[in-house]
């Protein structure tokens, strides 16, 4: 701003001699004034120095002109000193505070031209602090609705800008205490987007994000925020959880890249996931936050170190290192043992057993696989899935009785809406291999009767053009539509994808927050500007989630449609084979002139272990018996191999 006043001080070439004479006479006077950044030799014009004194509005410029006294070579200053020196000085504050945080330094240059009438109003500042203190008192007294509205009103007052940072943070805290978790995450985003340099509450806000994440059924919103703000660091109390979440994010990203055919990028993402997982310390747990303003740690959802080891095992398996993956999952089992005194995590323990069983099954170590499947807790979330997969392992070692017993559980009335169509095909194969052709035919007929309508419905849904929102509407509304049994199975088809299920849970959480969390509040809050903004943000979040869930549902339904078509084709081929075997038996009987027996009585025993009781099955199902059935084959093929030789296969 002072450059226009400096240029008149540079005289024409005719005055150069006068200037040189003045330089020798009055150097001390120039040093005393110190107003001129770039022209030390101008002391000869002492009358002209009063002009800067008259131009007092840009008062802050003299403070920035400290480089001027440090320029000893006076003869060079009339030529080049004025242009270069002032130019770099204003740039220094901008370089020191990059990005969003430096809002205050950026505002100062704009205030200099003339709108610097009320930069700081002491009276407004005092009122703002009083209002903020009153709102915080309301929050401490558990008047959360009133406190949230008070903080919001402070944020809507431009003259209270000095306390906006804390009001923004406290408003998000109030939303957490109101149970509006998705709204609170959006409110904390406003703090996190400013970074640690733009808000002194950045780290506290990140701690609250972790706290809120433990209350959600789907932790993907927290994963996204952790990945987005990883560059700014993390709260020390949540260091291990931060690394675990980032490792999980990188693993999911690598899997998506692998599915897209980008193998090299997937490998680099998995390598990064392993690096981050290795940074989680063994003693990691639910440490209480150091910050007094942070939420109480409460019950962390399990052992963070064990979770990191589980992610490491998944990455190793994806990289093809089965042995190292097995060791990682075994360590997870040891860490989650309730007797070890660490944080219990039954769900993680169940997942570790399931992964160990799958790896052994994939490597045809069927008995080890059966042992690990048997370790999955009865009635757990993935117990049925493990029971179904164990049926194939039993089939591989010719333990047909246990295979049929597991399938009997899957097809019981307790699980009539579960989706295991392949169980019927496996059951028919077992009967076929034991020459029980009538039973095989009956099972295949039941399969066709149950699942041909499902296939037709799937084909109808996936062939007509629909938006992702329409696909999500199909799986969400299917239980309430006509043909409920079929549509319930279709719903189960979609929800076998864990990602779709979690997205649907998040959508339901948002809907509940909109309808009851905000809509059920008293009118003062429900009709406020804050409530309207929250509803708008929740609506936008819901639309995004519905879009993603619908796209995933379409892919899942198309995949299951094709799989079901393959199973129906397999059942038809098995039925043809059954008919061929029956025809051969009939032709043999006609040739011999007597009936040909293709089956014979098998030896069997009703002896069981001390932990079990033999009880003849008479068509009834008892809940505590599920998963323990063993179907005794009393008849089988005449040329059936002895059990010792069959089991060796």
Cβ atoms within 10 Å of 286's Cβ, excluding its own? 20
Average pLDDT of the chain is 78
Q: pTM score > 0.85 for this model?
A: no
What are residue 58's phi and psi, to 5 degrees?
-80, 70
526 membership: H or E segment, kind and range? helix 523-526
Confidence of residue 596 (pLDDT cuts 50, 70, 90): low
- Do 386 and 394 meet the contact criterion of CB atoms below 8 Å apart? no
User: Does the pLDDT value for residue 117 go beyond 60?
Assistant: no
Average pLDDT over residues 360-386: 93
Q: Which of 161-170, 414-423, 501-510, 518-527 is the least confident region?
A: 414-423
**pLDDT average, residue stretch 471-494:** 72
Average pLDDT over every residue of 211-216: 87
pLDDT tier at 649 (50, 70, 90 boundaries)? very low
Helix (H) or strand (E) holding 599: strand 599-601
Say what the pLDDT of residue 483 is.
Answer: 53
Return the DSSP state at 517.
I
Of 593 and 343, the one with more pLDDT? 343
pLDDT in tens, 68-105: 444 444 444 434 434 433 333 333 333 332 333 334 44
For 530, the token pair is: 């804050």
Task: Give 619's pLDDT tier (boundaries 50, 70, 90).
Answer: confident
Structure tokens at 492: 């189960």
pLDDT at 111 > cutoff 50: no
Q: Regarding the domain delimited by 123-203, which CATH topology (the fold level of the hierarchy) does it fall under? A: 1.25.40
Tokens of 372: 């690990």
Domain range annotation of the chain: 3-91, 123-203, 235-359, 378-428+598-649, 436-596
Taking residues 242-256, what's their average pLDDT? Answer: 90
Predicted local distance difference test score (pLDDT) of residue 214 = 84
Residue 116 is predicted with a pLDDT of: 44
Within 10 angstroms of residue 152's Cβ, the number of other Cβ atoms is 21
Distance between CA 149 and CA 290 in Å, rounded?
A: 29
Instruction: Copy the structure tokens of residue 600.
Output: 């014979």
Contact 36, 6 (CB under 8 A): yes
| Kind and range of the H or E run holding 636 | strand 635-637
Cβ atoms of 353 and 372 closer than 8 Å? yes
Cα separation values, 554 from 92, 458, 557, Å: 54, 10, 5
The residue written with tokens 């129906």 in the block is 568
What pLDDT is attached to residue 84? 39
Residues 6+ apart with CB under 8 A from 303: 284, 285, 335, 336, 342, 343, 345, 348
């Amino acid at each position: 701003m002072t450059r226009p006043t400096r240029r008149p001080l540079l005289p024409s070439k005719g005055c150069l001699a006068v200037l040189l004479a003045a330089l020798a006479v009055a150097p001390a006077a120039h040093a005393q004034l110190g107003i001129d950044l770039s022209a030390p030799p101008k002391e000869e014009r002492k009358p002209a120095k009063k002009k800067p004194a008259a131009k007092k509005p840009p008062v802050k410029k003299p403070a920035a002109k400290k480089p001027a006294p440090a320029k000893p070579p006076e003869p060079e200053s009339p030529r080049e000193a004025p242009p270069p020196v002032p130019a770099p000085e204003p740039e220094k504050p901008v370089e020191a505070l990059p990005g969003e945080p430096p809002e205050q330094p950026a505002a100062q240059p704009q205030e200099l031209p003339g709108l610097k009438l009320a930069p700081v109003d002491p009276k407004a500042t005092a009122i703002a602090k009083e209002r903020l203190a009153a709102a915080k008192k309301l929050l401490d007294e558990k008047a959360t609705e009133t406190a949230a509205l008070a903080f919001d009103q402070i944020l809507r007052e431009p003259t209270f800008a000095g306390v906006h940072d804390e009001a923004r943070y406290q408003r998000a805290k109030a939303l957490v205490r109101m149970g509006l978790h998705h709204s609170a995450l959006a409110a904390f985003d406003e703090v996190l987007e400013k970074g640690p340099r733009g808000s002194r509450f950045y780290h506290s806000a990140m701690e609250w994000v972790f706290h809120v994440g433990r209350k959600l059924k789907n932790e993907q919103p927290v994963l996204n925020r952790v990945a987005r703000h990883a560059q700014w660091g993390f709260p020390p109390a949540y260091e291990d959880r931060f690394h675990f979440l980032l490792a999980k994010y990188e693993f999911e990203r690598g899997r998506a890249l692998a599915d897209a055919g980008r193998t090299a990028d997937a490998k680099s993402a998995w390598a990064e996931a392993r690096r981050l997982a290795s940074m989680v310390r063994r003693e990691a747990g639910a440490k209480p936050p150091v910050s007094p303003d942070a939420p109480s740690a409460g019950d962390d959802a399990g052992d963070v170190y064990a979770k990191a080891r589980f992610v490491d095992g998944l990455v190793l398996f994806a990289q093809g290192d089965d042995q190292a993956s097995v060791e990682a999952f075994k360590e997870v089992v040891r860490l989650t043992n309730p007797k070890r005194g660490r944080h219990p995590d039954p769900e993680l323990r169940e997942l570790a057993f399931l992964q160990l069983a799958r790896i052994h099954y994939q490597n045809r170590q069927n008995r080890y696989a059966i042992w690990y499947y048997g370790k999955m807790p009865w009635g757990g979330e993935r117990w049925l899935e493990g029971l179904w997969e164990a049926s194939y392992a039993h089939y591989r070692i010719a333990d047909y009785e246990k295979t049929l017993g597991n399938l009997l559980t899957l097809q019981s009335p307790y699980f009539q809406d579960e989706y295991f169509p392949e169980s019927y095909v496996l059951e028919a194969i077992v009967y076929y291999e034991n020459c029980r052709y009538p039973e095989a035919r009956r099972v295949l007929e039941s399969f066709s009767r149950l699942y041909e309508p499902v296939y037709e419905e799937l084909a109808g849904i996936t062939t007509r053009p629909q938006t992702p929102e329409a696909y999500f509407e199909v799986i969400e509304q299917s239980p309430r539509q006509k043909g409920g049994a079929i549509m319930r199975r279709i719903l189960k088809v979609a929800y076998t994808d864990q990602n779709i299920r979690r997205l649907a849970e998040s959508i339901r959480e948002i809907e509940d927050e909109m309808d009851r969390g905000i809509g059920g509040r008293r009118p003062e809050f429900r009709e406020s500007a804050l409530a309207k903004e929250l509803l708008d943000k929740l609506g936008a979040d819901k639309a995004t989630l519905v879009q993603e869930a619908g796209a995933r549902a379409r892919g899942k339904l198309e995949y299951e449609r094709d799989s079901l078509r393959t199973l129906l084709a397999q059942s038809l081929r098995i039925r043809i084979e059954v008919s061929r075997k029956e025809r051969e038996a009939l032709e043999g009987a006609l040739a011999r002139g007597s009936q040909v027996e293709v089956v014979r009585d098998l030896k069997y025993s009703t002896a069981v272990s001390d932990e079990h009781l033999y009880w003849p099955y008479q068509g009834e199902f008892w809940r505590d018996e599920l998963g323990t059935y063993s179907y005794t084959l009393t008849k089988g093929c005449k040329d059936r191999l002895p059990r010792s030789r069959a089991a060796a296969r």
